[in-house]
Structures are given as C-alpha cells and as structure tokens.
Amino acid sequence: MKNTKKQFHIWIFVGLLYAMFIAPNAMVVRIATLEADQFYWNMMRFLAVAAICLPFVVISWRKLWHKKVRRWTVAAMISMPIANLTFTAAIAQSQASYVSIINLITPVFLIVLSAFLTRDGISHRAIAGISIAAAGAAVVVALPAYLSQDGVVFYPVATILVLINSLAYSVNLISIRKMNENSVPFMAIVGIVSLACVANFASLFFTFGDVSRAPMDLTFLLMVAYSAIGISIVARIVSIILFEKTNAATVGGLTYLATFIAIILPIILLGERLSTEMLIGGALILTGVYIIESHHRQHIKKHHRH
C-alpha cells in the first residue's frame, strides 16, 4: 500500500513537471510567429515530427487505411492542419493569454462532437455545464463587443479562429481515439497527421507565405524542437502514461494548471493585459467544464464498480 501511494506521489510530481513543460507552448508560438511566417513555422515543426514518426507510418500503412479506420484517418489528416493554422493565426491576431482563455471551451466542443460522431449520450448535468461554459465564452466575447469601449480587450477575428481551432482539435482527438481503438499505433497516427500538415503548410508557404521570414537560427530551431518533439510527441506520450498511472481527475487538474500557467506567462513575460471580462469569462468556462468532467468521472467510477 505504501509503495502504491509513493508511486502515485511520484507520478503526481511527474505530472507537475509535465504541466510546467507544456504551459509555455502558446507563448513560444507567439514569439516564433513574430519572427517567422506562420506557414513556415507550422511546416518546420511538423517536418520534424514527420521525420521521427515516418518509420511507424510505413510499418502501419495497411492499418491506417483499413476500411474501418479510413474515414477517421482522413478526418485526422484534414482537422490537424486546420487546428494548427487557426491556433497560430489566432495568436498572431491577438495575444497568447487571450487564446488560452478562449481555448478553455474545447472540452465542451469535444463532448458535443463525441455525442454527434460516436453516438455518446449527453446528460442533463453535461448540458448544464455546457450552458455555464457558453455563458463564460459570451462574457469574454459578446460583452466587450457590445461595450466597444477603449480599454476593453476583444479580438473578433482571433475569437472566430480560436473557436474553429477548438472545433477542429476536437474532431482530431475523436479521430485519433477511433484510430487507436482499431489498433493503429499512436506514433503512426502522429506521423500520418504530421505528413498531411507538412504537405498543406509547405503548399501554403510557397504559394502565399513570406519567404523572407524563414529563419534558421539556433533560437528558432530550439523553439521548433520544443513545439514539435516536446509538445507533439513527448508531452502526448507522457499524458497517456499519466492517465494510466493516476486517473482522469488528476490529468484534468494538471491540464487546468498548465492552462493557468499558459495564461499567466505571457502577462508576466510579454506584458500582455488580462481584462476583468476575460477573468470572469475564463472562470465561468472553467466551472462549466468542471461540471461536465466531474459527471464523466462519476460515470466512469460507477462503470468500474459494476
């Protein structure tokens, strides 16, 4: 029993390191895209991921295109470029902390889309949580737009981009889940999605991008390595291990901790401003998501007991 408790505490410590590691991602993207073309940035980071995962794609090629998996593979390959393009564009159009707050709505999209695409049911409690989260999003988005006063922080284009990002990212997560359920290895999934992203972003960069904004200095390459290898591969693998070694509640809490740090870092280091409506809206979104996820945790516990 003591060993089990000790191991759990060790994994909690690993989880805290994980949260601190993934938190600066939005800020790193913000810094990188100030120097580099958005298409170039995405092309470079997915090129690094694709190079590492290519052997897994080759080995699992038949599994990736099996008739049971094919549509989810296509969905993942389409949704990931959209999710990443809108994420970087939203940060470029606003500030990293603003994007991090609006992105809190992503679990709501995930619940609704899961119900639509995989026929998962939505309980009354989940609907209540979604309603509170939607109210929070309205505070962040609609209230500043209505007031239209100086000093009120609102980025309409960035808001639309983040909502598209949340939608596309949710579709991507569902697609990856369905592929993995059909025995497609995680690294093969990441690889095929990364290859699609490289093809898309390379085409966009050489057609519409600013080729003069294509740095190759050490600082930029380190940011590429962090976002590509660190976030896309290492962090995802660690999150899966944490889920297996701890529980959904712990992983959810660590994710929220990472989001909190992601909001605070740009304010401290980049001088971004956090308005009152962003704070209130973020708190409401977080409350709604907590209600949704706490219901799902209770459902899982009941399922395991039976």
* Burial class for 245, CB neighbours closer than 10 Å (0-12, 13-18, 19+): middle
CB 223 within 8 A of CB 28: yes
The two structure tokens encoding residue 30: 């913000």
* E strands, 161-292, in order: none
Question: CA–CA separation, 265 vs 268, rounded Å?
Answer: 5
The two structure tokens encoding residue 158: 């960035």
pLDDT tens digits in sequence order for the chain, 306 residues long: 556 667 777 888 888 888 889 889 988 998 999 999 999 999 999 999 999 999 999 999 999 999 999 999 999 999 999 999 999 999 888 887 778 777 777 777 777 787 777 665 555 565 566 566 556 655 555 555 445 445 556 678 888 999 999 899 889 888 988 898 888 998 999 999 999 999 999 999 999 999 999 999 999 999 999 999 999 888 888 887 876 777 655 666 677 677 777 777 777 777 766 666 566 666 666 666 566 555 444 544 444 434
pLDDT score at 63 = 94
* pTM reported for the whole predicted model: 0.76
